[in-house]
């Protein structure tokens, strides 16, 4: 599911305005967003606190790609490039 970057910025800003503590806890922010997007697992936040953060996983994967250790498919690389271009225009 591709998310419009501006919509996500607006969503995060509104959530933090309504609950400033969300600015201090990424896992709680992620759980709140995922809950709003339909993931209705009552154990979501407690489970998120037990596992690696999505950002750590993403950054590590990106570093391995940068180092040439792993290589995503051409289709995936193109999709990521298109997402990057779209996000760059919005930000």
pLDDT tens-digit profile of 4-33?
A: 667 888 999 999 999 999 999 989 999 999
- For position 4, what pLDDT does the model report? 66
* Residue 49 DSSP code: T
Mean pLDDT computed over 59-65: 90
How many Cβ atoms sit within 10 Å of the Cβ of residue 48? 19
Q: How far is CA 35 from the centre of its chain?
A: 14
pLDDT tens-digit profile of 70-88?
A: 898 999 889 889 888 888 8
User: Under 8 Å CB-to-CB from 21, ≥6 apart: which residues?
Assistant: 28
Any idea of the CA torsion for 30, 33, 39, 45, to the nearest 10 degrees? 40
Structure tokens at 78: 């193109």
């Amino acid at each position: 599911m591709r998310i419009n970057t501006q919509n996500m910025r607006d969503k995060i800003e509104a959530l933090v305005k309504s609950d400033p503590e969300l600015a201090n806890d990424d896992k709680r922010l992620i759980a709140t967003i995922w809950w709003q997007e339909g993931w209705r697992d009552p154990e979501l936040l407690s489970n998120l606190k037990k596992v690696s953060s999505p950002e750590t996983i993403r950054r590590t994967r990106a570093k391995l790609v940068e180092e040439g250790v792993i290589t995503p498919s051409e289709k995936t690389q193109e999709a990521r490039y298109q997402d990057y271009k779209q996000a760059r225009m919005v930000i």
